[in-house]
Structure 1
């Protein structure tokens, strides 16, 4: 007869019940040691609970409880976004990972990207790669708690997601994928709601990309908002979007936004099939 993998011993029960009664999902190794009164006992309990599927290791000395509501058997795979966002506090799931969650793209990135205030080395959680990206404090805003299969995850809001992707395209799959994300956002967001948070980021190149890609994918920019966006970009500002070097067929300099685009219209719109492409227009 197969042994129930989630059956608990006395010390394991003590820890699980204590965390459950307190409504505590995240526990540090030091807290387990304090509760059980012995480091060796605590380490053994932690190892047993990981093996039995009651705890998941996040980063060194930090664990997430998988409560009794998960049922009597070890579930194996758990929600990666919830686990990743719980690994460091404060933090949030951002960029390509968040864009996929919000439905702005059909692509599913191979690893989860987490915004943090202090850089940390990448980790592997339940066999999945998780990387941490340090973000300036002024840009660390615009996230919310969402429930995914009964667990809480901290993820950038839809508005902040598209802004973060414009700010750092390399973390969102590159220029073509960012165009797809902007198009996806245009289906559910109002441009007016995006501008204020975009300006708050204090990045001229972000604002240039926002204006250019919105025009490219057909996201209407109301007249007064367009003027507000242009006024926030210094007239002398010049930035690049796309590859490092220009190739034949690239869009080139876009005077409206002071942006040098090293990518063709076809490449940028390759994953935006619903847009009508008119030769010579962007």
Structure 2
């Protein structure tokens, strides 16, 4: 059994898909699903595997980022989680935000809450697969996490995104392209305004997508603030380096 256990672990470690099911385990050990469940329960009791949700497991020690982005396909980390992943914030999020085209209930794993944010297929783009602790994670590109967050600010503070937009490595053309692809007027307004505050003028590229309605820069704050005529925004949050 000891050798078989090592073989089992080595086989799973070669999988590019770190989250495995009862069905997959039954094939690895060449047994029916009933015995595979018993086998997994024994391994769970020994601390070899961990249950993520019903009939889904990971090897013990698998980072929650890895598990979170391999539960639903396609999916990727975004918002404040991705910002922290890139080292662009000092906030340590207790929630792992995962963008997906499918709805899924929240889960708890190793002290983290896993929150799945459903996006339309047209807004699901701009992510990459990266090596992380020997496994693969799916994470938004820096430009995409910014537009995701400006589209849905409740999942990442606007001031954190404003700070991240000072990154010299950001590709502004990609950022604007992604903003337009989101097909969201308010996202374009927020993006254009914040870039302008960073000294980057993209108005000519975005002006045809604006409307006359005044939207909130931060929808989570009170509806009080100066009106920015150019971007049709109510500036209800002022940042330290804003002019």
**Same fold flag (TM > 0.5):** yes
- For 1:257, the equivalent position in structure 2 comes to 231
**RMSD of aligned alpha carbons:** 2.4
How does the TM-score come out when normalised to structure 2?
0.87
- Aligned with 1:220 (options 199, 202, 212): 199
- Aligned with 1:187 (options 159, 167, 173): 167
Q: Distance in 1 between matches of 2:88 and 2:13?
A: 36
Q: Distance in 1 between matches of 2:15 and 2:23?
A: 17
How does the TM-score come out when normalised to structure 1?
0.76
- For 2:26, the equivalent position in structure 1 comes to 33
CA deviations on 1:13-58 (whole Å, 9 max, x unpaired) are 5533443466653321122234442333211221232344432323
CA deviations on 1:168-190 (whole Å, 9 max, x unpaired) are 10011xxxx32232222322314
Q: Distance in 1 between matches of 2:215 and 2:94?
A: 29
Contact 2:130/2:139 (8 A) holds in 1:
yes
When residues 123 and 21 of structure 1 are mapped into structure 2, their CA distance, relative to the original with a 3 A threshold, is: closer
Structure 2 residue runs of 5 or longer lacking an equivalent are none
- Alignment size in residue pairs: 240
Whether 2:186 is the aligned partner of 1:205: answer yes
- For 2:50, the equivalent position in structure 1 comes to 56
- For 2:98, the equivalent position in structure 1 comes to 114
Q: Distance in 2 between matches of 1:58 and 1:89?
A: 15
- Aligned with 1:238 (options 192, 197, 214): 214
56-65 or 160-169: bigger deviation: 56-65
SS state of the match for residue 129, structure 1?
strand
